[in-house]
Amino acid sequence: MRLAIDAMGGDFAPAEIVRGAVAARDALAQDEIVLVGDEGAIRAELQASGAGLDRLSIVHASQAVGMAEAPVEAVRKKPDSSMRRAMELMARREVDAVISAGNTGAFVAAAHMVARRLPGIRRPGISIILPTYHGPVVLIDVGANVDCRPTHLFQYGLMASLYSRKMFGTENPRVGILSIGEESQKGNDLAREASDLLEASELNFRGNAEGRDLFNGRFDVVVCDGFVGNIVLKCVEAMAENLFQTIREELKEMEPAVTAKLGPALANLQRRHDSAEYGGAPLLGVDGIVIICHGNSRARAVANAFRAAANYARTQVNREIVETVAKMKEGGE
């Protein structure tokens, strides 16, 4: 399997991207890593890390998309950007997946313009994993589409259900739609109309999900539009960071013997809830595998993004999405 990454995308590119790619190469014994970007800069980072080129290759790109650039304009006006070149490799089936910590909007635009959508899918959606006490919860969409139609939300529920089942072994994922109350009449027109579509389908739809339901074990998949989802994502991340910071400060006031006992447990808990542990978020619905990383991703997050991409490819989630959508069309849904 060949996995490509936009080596120039992200706040700490190319240094942390290259370091993460090298770590992924060492962990994924059967896969090849393709670094796309300024060849001179990439080689300098590889030399600094002492890494050889075994199962590592470089595809030169003379341009890079900045984090603040207008997404569609950047993709169109920079045809030799590392982001677009990586996406083109996947579109030509020269690589199996593409990863970037760069401009999310531009990366999503490149996926639309270059890789295209899976047959039958109206809009791709970004899905993230919320680690909870009860198990992983898939939240979709968290920013790909801020203006959605009911059909888009229905397809998000379908794709995320298949993703949850294939990636996490969830037998029959419980699907909810994020709303302002659990009663069926609550919510805006989009939520109510999407609920009707989900209710009429063969998905295990359990109705409206309130914000608290993201963490209480009632749902395995929660669907929303990208405007709401992105706000939820940033709020949850900030809350988790603030909570752990508060706990660390409290520990400083305790006796060293107590801190020594609690420290390892807290470190393990923080690792389990760290977004870097999951690496990146898949853009479900694209004809290929697209993994979106945080702009501030360090080497560990990048390495885990490669792991997520490899797992996604091996579980063949996309094939199941296409087959399921085709069967629904045959059945008249």
- A 10 A CB-CB count for 93 gives 10
CATH fold for the domain made of 1-120+285-315: Isopropylmalate Dehydrogenase (3.40.718)
**126 has which bridge partners?**
283
pLDDT, block means (10 residues), the chain with 333 residues: 97 96 93 97 92 91 96 95 98 97 96 95 95 92 95 97 95 96 90 95 96 96 97 92 86 80 76 73 97 94 95 94 86 52
- Distance of alpha carbon 56 from alpha carbon 25, whole angstroms: 7
Instruction: Locate all alpha helices (DSSP H) within the chain, ordered by sequence.
Output: 15-27, 39-49, 71-77, 82-91, 104-110, 150-168, 189-200, 226-252, 256-272, 275-278, 299-315, 317-330
At residue 253, the pLDDT reads 82
Q: What are phi and psi of 94, to 5 degrees?
A: -85, -20
pLDDT score of 333? 54
Q: Any idea which residue has 């209480």 for tokens?
A: 216
How far is Cα 23 from Cα 304, in angstroms, rounded to an integer? Answer: 9
The residues pairing with 307 across neighbouring beta strands, listed in sequence order, are none
Give the residue carrying structure tokens 């393990």.
Answer: 268
Residue 191, amino acid: A
What pTM value is reported for the model? Answer: 0.92
**Residue at token pair 């920013």:** 143
Q: What is the pLDDT of residue 277?
A: 74
- For 78, phi then psi, to 5°, come to -125, 75
Contact assessment for residue 50 and residue 22, using Cβ atoms and an 8 Å cutoff: no
The radius of gyration of the chain's CA atoms, rounded to the nearest angstrom, is 20
pLDDT score recorded for residue 331: 52
Token pair belonging to 297? 């991703």
Measured between alpha carbons, how far is 279 from 331 in angstroms, rounded to an integer? Answer: 37
- CATH number corresponding to 122-278: 3.40.718.10
Q: Which pLDDT does position 77 carry in this prediction?
A: 96
CB 4 within 8 A of CB 309: no
Q: Looking at this protein, which amino acid is placed at residue 110?
A: A
- The helix (run of H) or strand (run of E) holding residue 222 is strand 221-223
Residues 6+ apart with CB under 8 A from 14: 7, 8, 37, 38, 41, 42, 45
Backbone angles phi, psi at 155, to 5 degrees: -65, -30
CATH 3.40.718.10 domain span(s) along the chain = 1-120+285-315, 122-278
Q: Which structure tokens are listed for 260?
A: 């020594």
Take residue 109 and report the two structure tokens written for it.
Answer: 């635009």
Directed axis angle between helix 317-330 and helix 150-168, to 10°?
A: 130
How would you classify the pairing of strands 135-140 and 125-132?
A: antiparallel
Side-chain half-sphere of 99: how many Cα atoms within 13 Å? 33
